[in-house]
Amino acid sequence: MSNFSVPTRDQVSESNQAIFDNLQKAVGFVPNIYAAMAHSKNALGSYLQFSGSETSLSKKEKEVVDLAVSQLNGCRYCQSAHTAIGKMNGFTDDQIIELRKGTASWDNKTSVLAQTSKLIADKRGKISNEELEAFFNAGFTKENLVDLIVAIGSITITNLFHNVTDVPIDFPIAPEL
């Protein structure tokens, strides 16, 4: 258990205070993982810009990536946060469990996205031609592949950050698998 603190608004830089204010308005609170990133004057703003950038993946597809990769990386914070966000994006509890396992029995394209996300993250990008071909055969494009890799990078940052810092989880705790 880390004793990495979660700073309050008055303990962070002016630029991070503005980000805290924007998060408070948009989300209703400042998630602990973001607050903890504010120990750096630059990291929080840089991360939010990176993670919130335009993508060819839909919000639901991005949640597929976030759930599958967070499970693979063993990040309880992100499993919990993205379970809540996944529900807000229309996934059921059972679907979220499947996505965390890297599959989606209700939709082949979604299942391939979850599987490919886990494969890329697990194999550090060294997937086989057959695995890559399955992604394209499911209807994904080269643009989707590029954006998938960026999405994996983005969620991996928060997965690693939480796994190192162990800041308190401020979302309903996702069930263990």
Q: What's the pLDDT band for 52 if we cut at 50, 70, 90?
A: very high
For residue 129, pLDDT over 60 is answered with: yes
Query: What is the structure's pLDDT at 2?
Result: 64
| pLDDT score, position 123 | 98
Q: Where does the pLDDT of residue 27 fall: very low under 50, low under 70, confident under 90, or very high at 90 and above?
A: very high
- Are 75 and 165 in contact by the 8 Å Cβ rule? The answer is no
Give the per-residue pLDDT at 3. Answer: 76
Residue 90 has pLDDT above 60, yes or no: yes
Q: Is the dihedral of CA 85, 88, 91, 92 positive or negative?
A: positive
Predicted pLDDT of residue 55? 98
Task: Supply the CATH classification number for the domain 59-165.
Answer: 1.20.1290.10
- The band of 56, judged by pLDDT with boundaries at 50, 70 and 90, is very high
Copy the structure tokens of residue 109: 């394209």
Q: What is the pLDDT of residue 112?
A: 98
Mean pLDDT on 44-71: 97
What is the band of 26 on the pLDDT scale with cuts at 50, 70, 90? very high
Delimiting residues of CATH 1.20.1290.10 domain(s) in the chain: 59-165
DSSP characters over the chain: --------GGGS-HHHHHHHHHHHHHHSS--HHHHHHTTSTTHHHHHHHHHTS--SS-HHHHHHHHHHHHHHTT-HHHHHHHHHHHHHTT--HHHHHHHHHT--TT-HHHHHHHHHHHHHHHTTT---HHHHHHHHHTT--HHHHHHHHHHHHHHHHHHHHHHHH-PPP-SPPPPP-
Buried/exposed 127-156: b ≥16 CB within 10 Å, e otherwise: beeeeeebbeebebeeebbebbeebbebbb
Average pLDDT, the chain: 97
CB count in 10 Å sphere of residue 76 = 18
Least Cα distance to 107 among 73, 83, 138 occurs for 138
Pick the closest to residue 32 from 44, 49, 18 (CA basis). 44
